[in-house]
Amino acid sequence: MTGDSDVHAPAPRMLVVDDKANMRALLETAFVERGFDVVTASTGEEAIDLLTDQPFDVILTDLNMPGKSGMDVLKAAKAATPDTEVIIITAYGAIDIAVEAMRLGAHDFITKPFKLNDVERKVDKIVRRMQPQTSAHPIQTWIHPSVQHFVGSSAQSRQLMKMIMRIAPSKSAVLITGPSGVGKELVAKAIHEASPRRDRPFIALNCAALAPGILESELFGHEKGAFTGAAARRIGRFERAHTGTLFLDEVGEIDPAIQTKLLRVLQQGEFERVGGSETLRVDVRIVAATNRDLREAIAQGGFREDFYYRLNVFSLHVPPLAERRDDIPVLIDHFLRKFSMELNKEVYEVDDDVIGIFLNYPWPGNVRELENVIERAVVLAEGERITRDELPPELLRADGQLPSIAAPRDSAGSLIEHTDRLERELIQGALEKFRWNRTKAAEHLGLKRTTLQYKIKKYGLE
């Protein structure tokens, strides 16, 4: 089968220029995982030499480096390929120079310490402009970072990713279920960013945080004088989300009277502001999330059945972290990069015994709790590695071992068992080949060291 959906542009090419090896490695890893073809340079001179030999779509360059500076790289890039977009990374006190860089053609600048998400957003805008367009449909050339950040190595996450990509192109409602802290809003953003609405608004509202009267005004807006304190007309979330996506978090907490009005919007795409008579029409995709059992709420009379079925055109369940432990090493690496950049520190490894503690801990707070633990550890870390000294007491109190996965002794068993047996044998062989040097074994296997540490614990190969 051929057609527009089968046309794929090459991966965006990026040049990362920084004299600090750790910063190069952090940025390279982050963007390679997002589908970029990344080249790095440790000096301005090396970067300028690369620019004479090959084109790049995006350049991330530090401003202050020994020898040739980021300004020199910018000038060389614009001379070689004027369409190349350059983002300058600078210290807080050098903003005046960064402004000068903008005058010379830089796309943008960012100050240290910075958040990884800020860099991603700036690069994302550049890459979106690069995507070729047809008269009717944009051609999807790469997966948006919000989708990839959610994806882990577990079977559950891979299946969830597959479903996100299948349902994203439609405008049908989606209901996301799962316990608190698993990343339901991240899934909602992934659906939006992988959809044709990606360049339109994504508006989120936590329905549990507002009283019914306030929630109604937030959703639909109100007219001046509609109630005491309504001194002016207010535009609601539905109007703000027009042509985009509205994410209703904790939808199970919405009052039944408001559910009736939401049902009308879902069915007919129209509503009135509070205190108003004008009927407004909107084109909004609804993505809702809840940690409640809505079928039980229906049985108890707290949730409208017809509203539930309008929301539940597609249903996605996000399992707790304890049920997808294979995602833990991927999440650790992601949060280490994120907080190392935000805090301007160089922390990018964890001790083996810390991996064991993470595997034994039940993670009642799910991914949000893991993120908080990593942030705390990076703040406290005095070196490049996280040790048990940086962990909170509740993790240190966790004891007991997860059962190791033994290789099956015969040919019977599931595909997963055979895959585990093969993986265990490959890892053990690599460790023996390199005399249990985990860094070399990880490079040989094409794994990150954190992932290898996890699998050694998982298979009892210590």
Q: When comparing pLDDT for 335 and 313, which is higher? A: 313
Do 7-130 and 145-317 agree at the fold level? Answer: yes
Band the pLDDT of 133: cuts 50, 70, 90.
Answer: very low
Q: What is the mean pLDDT of residues 311-336?
A: 90
Give residue 71's identity as a one-letter amino acid code: M
Cis preceding-peptide flag for 169 (omega within 30 of 0)? no
Q: Is the pLDDT of residue 340 over 50?
A: yes
Q: When comparing pLDDT for 410 and 37, which is higher? A: 37
Tell me which architecture the domain covering 323-458 has in CATH.
Answer: Orthogonal Bundle (1.10)
CB 24 within 8 A of CB 40: yes
Q: When comparing pLDDT for 142 and 325, which is higher? A: 325
Band the pLDDT of 1: cuts 50, 70, 90.
Answer: very low
Q: Is the pLDDT of residue 34 over 80?
A: no
> Which pLDDT tens digit goes with each residue over 65-119?
999 999 999 999 998 888 899 999 887 556 677 778 888 888 888 887 787 878 8
Phi-psi label, residue 120: left if phi above 0, alpha if psi -120 to 50, beta otherwise: alpha
Please provide the size of the chain in residues: 462
Q: What angle do CA 146, 150, 152 make, to 5 degrees?
A: 140
Domain ranges (residues) in the chain? 7-130, 145-317, 323-458
* Percentage of the chain modeled with pLDDT above 70: 87
Tokens of 461: 């190969």
Band the pLDDT of 9: cuts 50, 70, 90.
Answer: low
User: 145-317: what fold?
Assistant: Rossmann fold (3.40.50)
Phi, psi of 78 (to 5 degrees): -70, -30
Q: What is the mean pLDDT of residues 259-287?
A: 94
From residue 104, alpha-carbon distances to 48, 70, 157, 341 in Å are 17, 12, 44, 27
- Asked which of 2-16, 57-71, 244-258 is least confident by mean pLDDT, the reply is 2-16
3-state secondary structure of 290: strand
Band the pLDDT of 5: cuts 50, 70, 90.
Answer: very low
First-to-last alpha carbon distance for the chain, in angstroms, is 49
> Which pLDDT tens digit goes with each residue over 357-406?
998 899 999 999 999 999 999 999 988 889 999 999 889 887 544 434 34
Report the 3 state secondary structure along 298-322: HHCCCCCHHHHHHHCCEEEECCCHH
What average pLDDT is seen over the chain?
Answer: 83
Location of structure tokens 């080249």 = 39
Q: What is the mean pLDDT of residues 223-243?
A: 91
Tell me which architecture the domain covering 7-130 has in CATH.
Answer: 3-Layer(aba) Sandwich (3.40)
